[in-house]
Structure 1
């Protein structure tokens, strides 16, 4: 069974990078299963792809922070007999906040979406991918997974997990006809608020930001060629090179200077009630 009779499953497909990846796959004649939170974006994208590309498109609304919905998604796809040979774990959420500014609830949801959902969906679909080789898994990480940045502590940690998980899984599936790739982009103009924020950034930050529509063709091409780690953008690639060349003490000095420039914040008190909080012992 070739890839054109199978389906590519893309999570977080309704906007941003996921939308760009889905459209690029459609351009290449790949049938699609689109997954995102309930909302008009998913319907609009599915209709756009159906009108402009000769591919099959199915879509499912799901909140992947809920474990049961991950299982339900897998069950629905199996029930409709949709063979999957490409899994794109794109769904995720980021933020730029000091640790004490993030609510415990947000942190929990971020870890569930960025780590648990991708891991669980991969586990559910790997046997399916092994039945429809050659197959591919594309996990969306981040350049943050290589750097210890203030205001990116939990997000960076979740993406470090994705990086480690992808590289380890690649070794396990190497001889099963399933290639595992991880893409580690830097900043991307995924929505209007990010674009506006980018305009206020310094020159180096501005030129490092990429447009999803330009990144997607590069990423899909390298995924299909079996590339292990994909880092789009020249500035991001240079950043990786400098990270390897600079001694640890120099990087620590630069990080300390960055921390001194950050405004001090009042640490909010977190109220934990034993009768309702999932964090209670």
Structure 2
């Protein structure tokens, strides 16, 4: 019987690390891809020790030219048959648009969108050969609503959501199931915690941690859900938001977005 692997990008910390742990906990072999460094290799070693599965690490800068192709080639050369692809790598920020250097946005667009697309493109022919395979793309609640003061980030996540939904239908006659993970605020680092603290007590009602998001994400993926929104409050927020007139919706979103932008120094 052929051995299969789950490949997770951005797997050295945050949601990616939690997703790798969750898959390993379920007995799945994992391939961890992220920037090279001690966190990545420590994550792989700890997963092997805790869960007794295979965990292999590949360190590289995914924003580099042809990096996704290098990941695919690494899998091919080592005989890693991927049946679950988790495109998790990405980052975001909130600020007034022209207050951020354009190079930061270019890197964000590359990592959040182009890398996800290229990873999917390279692995898709292999995935389609399997009786059952999965693709999970990490989007955001902001991939379901346009958030002022995070214009570039929310646009990248709209791309992720639209791409996932469209590709899912394209693959409807195959064994490949595609899902978009759309969490609300998730504390993955100190900067994220500070942004949530600036948002006040209401933000704390919807904030989650990676270890809470991961099992919901994998359960939803295996059940074949199109959109996975962790947290009941977040699900309610999306329903309410979608039911409002556009002008009122954008006014409310502007107020939310303005609360988290950094103050000028």
- Shorter-normalised TM-score: what interval? over 0.9
Are the aligned partners of 2:143 and 2:158 in contact in 1 as well (CA < 8 Å)?
A: yes
Please state how far the C-alpha of 1:30 moved relative to its aligned partner.
0.4
Corresponding pairs, count: 264
TM-score by length of 2: 0.94
- In structure 2, the partner of 1:73 is 71
Please state how far the C-alpha of 1:146 moved relative to its aligned partner.
2.1
- In structure 1, the partner of 2:242 is 244
Please state how far the C-alpha of 1:264 moved relative to its aligned partner.
8.6
Deviation larger for 67-76 or 163-172: 67-76
Instruction: Please say which structure displays the higher CA radius of gyration.
Output: 1
- In structure 1, the partner of 2:182 is 184
Please state how far the C-alpha of 1:128 moved relative to its aligned partner.
1.2
Deviation larger for 117-126 or 190-199: 190-199
1:129 pairs, out of 118, 122, 127, with 127
2:84 pairs, out of 68, 86, 94, with 86
Are the aligned partners of 1:29 and 1:55 in contact in 2 as well (CA < 8 Å)?
A: yes
Are the aligned partners of 2:164 and 2:180 in contact in 1 as well (CA < 8 Å)?
A: yes
- In structure 2, the partner of 1:175 is 173
CA distance in 2, matches of 1:234, 1:204: 14
Deviation larger for 124-133 or 6-15: 124-133
Which structure 2 residues correspond to residues 96-135 of structure 1 after superposition, within 5 A?
96-135=94-133
- In structure 2, the partner of 1:221 is 219
Listed as ranges, the gaps of 5+ residues in structure 2 are none
Secondary structure of the 2:186 match is coil
CA distance in 2, matches of 1:85, 1:180: 12
Q: Deviations over 1:85-118 (max 9, x none)?
A: 0000000011111101111111100000000000
Moved runs in structure 1, 4+ residues, more than 4 A?
A: 255-266
- In structure 2, the partner of 1:43 is 41
CA distance in 2, matches of 1:57, 1:255: 41
Are the aligned partners of 2:9 and 2:87 in contact in 1 as well (CA < 8 Å)?
A: yes
Change (3 A) 1:188 1:124: same
CA distance in 2, matches of 1:57, 1:130: 24
TM-score by length of 1: 0.89
